[in-house]
Amino acid sequence: MLGTGFIADFYISALHGQRSRDRVIMAYSTTKERAKPFAEKHGIPHWTNDLHEAVNHPEVDIVCIGLRNDQHLEAAQAAAKAGKAVMCTKPLARNGREAWEMVKAVEHAGVFNGYLEDLVYTPKGLKAVESVRNGAIGRVLWAKSRETHPGPHSPWFWNIEKAGGGALVDLGCHCIEIARNFIGKNVRPVEVMCWADTQVKPIEAEDHAIGLVKYANGAIGQFEVSWAFRGGMDLRDEVMGTEGTIWINNFLRTGFEMFTAPGNSGYVAEKAESASGWLFPVGDETNDLGYNHMFTDMLNSMEANTSPLETFYDGYVVNEIMDAAYRSAKSKKWEPVKLEEWRGLPDDAVQVQKEVEFDENHWLLKEEILPDGSRKILLKEKTSGKLVQREFLS
């Protein structure tokens, strides 16, 4: 385990709790002062502040990067050089250029690589994506993901140099990849429009950003991220398809509600802002936020010698989309996503017919149940373009 901060704690809780045969055997931090107590707290036998010692330890099968964003590249290169499997926390890097270096490093070394995008692995998310694949909501038109909370835990997040950006890099990476999973990861992200501003916090980076990502098949991915939200952590996805809708709430409203006048003396939930009044805890955060399913996929894939659901290449695509978003926030126009290499389908393979056919001569415009219970259908004649209305008694 490279890193000893908040996310490393979460990772270890999942790793030790889920597949009970896996153990973290090495803890690395840039300072000995942090590595040692972390190792003791989690019962990790070895610790060091020497990166190369950490990754080359003979008992280490897989290197887990849970470091600051600016330290990912060096760590990944070290792991690749050591010939070790590697998995890296989100975002993969500070920008597309660094991310591409990481992809090249692991692929050149031929080592297993996994991108730890936990929110793609939430149980609700996995089930929803499967439903979409099964056709439950038809063709996906729009996939919005929102993550907002009152700001990150560790001070380095607030440093634009170390983090590579603000709320967009921290949270947008989740939202962008969630939308990609709904729309289809083999559909090319074409261009991005993004607004980003520093509305509240005394920082250089943005604390609020909203963006649209246009895909080659016309679908839109939307992200809404902020470090200025009040009330806890808002984690929601919404998907519109031609035949259906999906709404997922992963945090503040999951069927667990508590009113407490004296206050809950223990831990409530990540980012909770109050400890009395109405609170909305989450049942099993480690599982519900995707950590269990993510590590199970990672370790099973490594053992089976297959690719996990999320690889370094996915992390790279996300970084490039974020780079385009930052360019757009500056230029105030849509900016193209520049990929070194596109590994999905060619654009002409994902084109869709937008109209829904009613019969040989008509497109379907709309079907409706009227107040009196009868059914009304609006059609458009294909040749004349004329609208035709038909009513059916119930």
Q: Does 333 bind a copy of itself (CB under 8 A)?
A: yes
List the structure tokens of 61: 């099968």
Q: CA-CA distances (angstroms) from residue 196 to 166, 210, 212, 322, 326?
A: 10, 7, 12, 11, 8
Burial 267-276, CB ≥16 within 10 A → b, else e: ebbbbbeeee
The window from 23-31, 57-65, 92-100, 271-279 that contacts a copy of itself (CB under 8 A) reads: 271-279
Residues 50-109 that bind a copy of itself (CB under 8 A): none
The window from 24-32, 58-66, 127-135, 317-325 that contacts a copy of itself (CB under 8 A) reads: 127-135
**Least spacing, CB of residue 220 vs a copy of itself, in Å:** 7
CB of 256 closer than 8 Å to CB of 280: yes
**Least spacing, CB of residue 112 vs a copy of itself, in Å:** 19
Query: With the C-alpha atoms ordered 243, 350, 333, 182, is the resulting torsion angle positive or negative?
Result: positive
- One-character DSSP codes across 338-379: --S---S--GGGS----SPEEETTEEEEEEEE-TTS-EEEEE
Q: Does 128 bind a copy of itself (CB under 8 A)?
A: yes
The window from 45-53, 89-97, 268-276, 306-314 that contacts a copy of itself (CB under 8 A) reads: 268-276
d(CA 342, CA 358): 37
> In terms of Cα–Cα distance, which of 232, 225, 290 is closest to 256?
232
**Least spacing, CB of residue 315 vs a copy of itself, in Å:** 24
The window from 61-69, 85-93, 195-203, 338-346 that contacts a copy of itself (CB under 8 A) reads: 195-203
CB of 290 closer than 8 Å to CB of 250: no
Q: Does 34 bind a copy of itself (CB under 8 A)?
A: no
The window from 33-41, 279-287, 318-326, 342-350 that contacts a copy of itself (CB under 8 A) reads: 279-287
Residues 152-191 that bind a copy of itself (CB under 8 A): 153, 155, 158-159
**Least spacing, CB of residue 159 vs a copy of itself, in Å:** 8
CB contact set of 369 (below 8 Å; sequence gap of 6+): 375, 376, 394
**Least spacing, CB of residue 302 vs a copy of itself, in Å:** 14
Query: Residues 343, 351, 387, 392: which binds a copy of itself (CB under 8 A)?
Result: 387
Q: Does 342 bind a copy of itself (CB under 8 A)?
A: no
**Least spacing, CB of residue 369 vs a copy of itself, in Å:** 6
Query: From residue 290 to residue 329, what is the string marking binding to a copy of itself with x (rule CB under 8 A)?
Result: --xx------------------------------------
Query: Residues 59, 110, 266, 383: which binds a copy of itself (CB under 8 A)?
Result: 266
Nearer to a copy of itself, 108 or 330 (CB): 330
Burial 19-49, CB ≥16 within 10 A → b, else e: eeebebbbbbbbeeebbbebbeebebebbbb
